[in-house]
A and B are shown apart, each in its own frame.
Chain A
Amino acid sequence: MAKVLMKGNEAIAESAIRSGCRHYFGYPITPQTEVAAYMAKRMPKIGGTFLQAESEISAINMVYGVSSAGKRVMTSSSSPGVSLKQEGISYLAGSDLPALIVNVQRGGPGLGGIQPSQSDYFQATKGGGHGDYRLIVLAPASVQEMADLTSKAFDLADKYRMPAMLLADGTIGQMMEPVELPEEKTDGFVEKPWAVTGTGGKREHNIINSLYLVPEELEKKNLERYERYKLVEQNEVMVEEYLTDDADICVVAFGIAARVSKNAINAARAKGIKAGLIRPITLWPFPKDAIKKAAEKVKGFISVELSMGQMIEDIRLAEECRKPVVLCNRVGGMIPSPDEVLSAIEKAEGGEF
């Protein structure tokens, strides 16, 4: 199929439709509004639902409803809006419901700004809502991955009966790149015998619920869920390694920060510095093994982030504090330049951690 030029946000929307999603609920917020705009244009033409809810909270609860009925469903927002959705996300997790939540991050906290950021890493990967639960968190670094990982997120969410989040940022959402869209998904959908679709008088009725007042039952639910999370950790880690084979300095970065870092690594290599990149594509499950393996041979790690240093904690946990890890970051909507990352690499090469 021929490549087309699309904005990252549009690629999410078209890929979701091709992945069989016919129900979208959202509320506008920069820099993700193109997702909603695209859905508003396309869904009515293909018999789907586009609904601009009265609030983000309302939208996520509509997602809960459609997911309960066994249909593929999504919502999208940007940081402040995703905070509003957290209660609903916890309920989705507590009811074992698959859904896609897209966060095209902007600077925070509070209303923050509208420029790109990665400062919702904690919220996405550590459980932004209450209770013990996990989200599958995918971090696209190109418009192509906006499309590919949207489709992947629906499949994983269905397979493991849990919500998945696409954690993008304003840059990847707003930029255009050539993209090869996935084919329309027509088969291979996971069966959902648990869905509330009407019994037709032929079976016991299904219940979608997150309320368990008997603690023994609630504990059992939690333990079952974590058995499933263990499988996700075993089977679904995605990571890109770039020039890590002989690397002395290992940069770890995702999304737009990884794109900037690649430029810096190429510049470092041109100066004879052996730098490489580990790019987590799944932020949860985090690619612990790749980091741990790298820790055996590198001098140290540089975490490049558009946050005050959130992923850096997972890097330290993964490499078990065997090598120094330093932060190279910009925040508030600013993006580190390749020169800033290069200078961090040069310092690290000189032993300055």
Chain B
Amino acid sequence: MNHTLSDRPPPAQASAAKLPAPGDWTFELLHQYHEAIRSTAQRFGLDTYPNQLEIITAEQMMDAYASVGMPVNYRHWSYGKEFIATDRNYRRGQMGLAYEIVINANPCISYLMEENTMAMQALVIAHAAYGHNSFFKGNYLFRMWTDASSIIDYLVYAKDYVAGCEERHGIDAVELLLDSCHALMNYGVDRYRRPSRLSLGEERARAADREAYAQQQVNELWRTLPRRPEKEAAEKEATRFPAEPQENLLYFIEKNAPLLEPWQREIVRIVRKVAQYFYPQRQTQVMNEGWATFWHHHLLNTLYDDGYLADGLMIEWLKSHTNVVFQPPVGHPSYHGINPYALGFAMYSDIKRICEAPSDEDRDWFPDIAGSDWLATLDHAMRNFKDESFIGQYLSPRLMRAFRLFAIVDDEKAPKLEVSAIHDEAGYRILREAMSRQYDLGSREPNIQVWSVNLRSDRSLVLRHTQHNERPLDDSAEEVLKHVARLWGFPVHLESVDSKGKRSRHWLVTPAPG
């Protein structure tokens, strides 16, 4: 599959010079460590974007937090809220800041916090600059959905554009629009279609054309001039619009909302593009964090075996590593579901084990990879899956036992919860399927699509929620609908339809006047 990784790594050079390991880092040391990590990563054939390591302060880290990790973003109050909350928690000491933020860009930017010790910097470099970076470059979702080389430029464009709109149309108008777009952000992605690439130059040049053209299209759709009778008769047949349900609500609104101004359509588009950029990250949490964790663990251990790293430094990063991959059991006070670092790390380590020392059970379950070359197998797993399929493919019975996994069915109609499977022979497959579904974004988020538009009378938009396992929508649906109505400009219906196709609930929101 991958030509770079099919070869075994060359053996390590004997007795490398031990790197100094003081508590505090210096630029000189960063270079040395980075060089050592880089050459080791190269030996394992990790394919990465060029790295750019940036030293930042805690305050700058909080800034980065607040703008969803991006070095530049348009302004919005919700980021201010995020910043205030982070700042407050940090000052109270309730929360440590993450050690690292890494940006899927080319070159790949990793932030190193100035407070970190040398050991932590080494950990972060291995984790972010080689682990995450190679994942960004290799995984098929990222390759398909994001264009690392232009995202920063696009965000600069977005920031300038939004700022320009604030100047021309007032901060309030832009804020309302962004609020509404953010409410639909998760529904602003193409799940099945392949997106077009972003490029700053094109983007700027085309924005103006697009505005004019889009408006013209919309006007055409909503034409009020009377038509010739014979034509009308023909059209009655095909009144359905859109012809098929649309999953990308923001895209549909951008293209078809009757009353939006051109600049508003452009902002909808910006939010949509940003949502699309983050879409792969939401689908590969376990894989991405697991991959980075596996590689910092493997790289630093290899460096130690090669004689580069001092014992104290190892102890220090291992302590932090152990905290990161801790999986509290259910019922533990700090239990918040499955820890993606723990699961991902365990799965990649387990795949390596299956390749190197398969048991009979492994041969039974994974005949294709048991005993194969672990580097190539791991690389294949990283490139071609997302969380859902990764778990469905690679979660081994041994791991299920190690995590002591069990599945619970919560059925509204039953008086009690039922344990549907545990980590035993009968339960492995059920568990694995249930676990895989749990990471399916399609079932984590309610399935809501544009169903139809009433072109003839009140121009109302009908959204349809197709229930999954009879699960209803929560109370915020009405609030979100108000946002949809604000964008659409005319009444918006939302129908919740159960698995038998029966409409079980209905909302109607008309936009506030003015």
The answer to whether A and B come from one shared complex is no
A-binding residues in B (CB < 8 A):
none
B-binding residues in A (CB < 8 A):
none
